[in-house]
Amino acid sequence: MIRSYIALGSNLNQPRQQVSTAISTLATLANCQLIAQSRLYGSVAIGPGEQDNYVNAVIALDTSLSPASLLLALQSIEAEHQRQRNVRWAARTLDLDLLLYGTESINTPELTVPHPRMFERDFVLRPLADIAPAELLRHYLHNKLGKDGKDGKLDYSDNDNLWVLEPDDKAITN
């Protein structure tokens, strides 16, 4: 089994439920085992135009699927969620990005791993830091770690665009 990390994001049609349901579905994928899930986070949308806030999370999934097969599985879960979408033009009901697949570097037309934008995105890195071993964080994020970097900790105290969603916190706004 290879330890993979997958980022989940949604800002449409009950995003929190989209992310929670997707995690449940990922946990039942054949040849995969859900190892850990981060807390859920609310985040301000990064991207063009006015968009609703996102719900973001990261999971650790052990898998014997190849990277290409895992990507196909993620895309089919995305498709299931998109079919439930009512507003055709709106942002996204579910985005599943393969962040890491073991320590492999993959560069095919369909798949780039590590995910090329993950290191710039606190809405990926902070949930990743909930569940990834300090050693992994140090390996990939050495230049982002602050003063306490030796402990593999990331400092987000100055980020107002990202917040933890408590279990009973229904709102995803600030």
Q: Which residues are catalytic?
A: 83, 92, 95, 97
Q: What is the largest CA-CA distance in the chain?
A: 47
Residue 164 binding ligand A4P, by CB under 6 A: no
Nearer to Mg ion, 95 or 122 (CB): 95
Give the residue with the Cβ less far from ligand A4P, 9 or 152.
Answer: 9
Q: State which amino acid sits at residue 91.
A: A
Nearer to Mg ion, 64 or 76 (CB): 76
Among ligand A4P, Mg ion, none, what does residue 123 contact (CB within 5–8 Å per kind)? ligand A4P
Backbone angles phi, psi at 162, to 5 degrees: -145, 130
**By the rule CB under 6 A, 139 interacts with ligand A4P:** no
Structure tokens at 133: 């071993």
Prior bond to 114 cis, omega within 30?
yes
Q: Is 9 exposed, middle or buried (0-12, 13-18, 19+ CB in 10 A)?
A: buried
Is 77 among the residues that bind ligand A4P (CB under 6 A)? no
Answer with the entry of Mg ion, ligand A4P, none that 72 interacts with (C-beta below 5 to 8 A by kind): none
Axis crossing angle, helix 134-141 with helix 122-131, rounded to the nearest 10: 150
Q: Which residues bind ligand A4P (CB under 6 A)?
A: 9, 43-47, 54, 56, 71, 95, 97-98, 110-113, 115, 117, 123
